[in-house]
Amino acid sequence: MANGEHDAAKVSGGGGGCKGVFPAESLMLPASMVLVQLFSIVVVLLSKLALNTGMEPFVLLAYRNLIGAAAVAPFAFVFERKSLKIPNLVECGWISINATFGVILAMGLYYYGLRNTNATYSVVFLNLIPIVTSLVAITLGAENLVFTSWPGKAKLFGIVACVGGTMVVSLYKGSILHHPWPTNAAATPAVHHDMVAGTLFLCGSCLGYAFWFIIQVRLAKVFPSRYWATTLTCLSGSLQAFAIGILIDHDTSAWRLKWDLQLLTVVYSGIFNTGVTFVLMSWAVKRRGPIYPSMFNSLAMVATVIMDSALLGTSIYLGSILGTLLVIVGLYAFLWGKGKELQEAMAVARKGTAGSYGGGLSSEKDAGDSHEDGQRELEPRR
DSSP annotation of 275 reads: I
More confident residue, 189 or 87: 87
Average pLDDT value for the chain: 82
Count the neighbouring beta carbons within 10 Å of the beta carbon of residue 381.
26
How far is residue 8's CA from residue 299's CA, in Å, rounded to a whole number? 24
More confident residue, 349 or 248: 248
Q: Phi and psi of 176, rounded to 5°?
A: -75, 140
**Does residue 108 surpass a pLDDT of 60?**
yes
**Does residue 298 surpass a pLDDT of 90?**
no
Lowest-pLDDT range, 28-42, 155-169, 346-360? 346-360
Q: What is the mean pLDDT of residues 108-122?
A: 94
How far is residue 100's CA from residue 233's CA, in Å, rounded to a whole number? 9
Confidence label for 241 from pLDDT (cuts 50, 70 and 90): very high
Lowest-pLDDT range, 64-73, 184-193, 248-257? 184-193
Count the neighbouring beta carbons within 10 Å of the beta carbon of residue 252.
8
Lowest-pLDDT range, 52-61, 132-141, 201-210, 348-357? 348-357
pLDDT value of residue 354: 54
Count the neighbouring beta carbons within 10 Å of the beta carbon of residue 167.
12
**Which residues, at least 6 apart from 247, have a Cβ–Cβ distance to it below 8 Å?**
none
pLDDT value of residue 373: 53
Confidence label for 158 from pLDDT (cuts 50, 70 and 90): very high
pLDDT value of residue 191: 52
Q: What is the mean pLDDT of residues 41-57?
A: 93
Contact 126, 41 (CB under 8 A): no
Q: Is 230 left (phi over 0), alpha (psi -120 to 50) or beta?
A: alpha
Lowest-pLDDT range, 21-30, 272-281, 309-318? 21-30
**Does residue 12 surpass a pLDDT of 80?**
no
pTM of the model: 0.82
Q: Tell me the angle at which helices 23-52 and 277-288 cross, rounded to the nearest 10 degrees.
A: 140
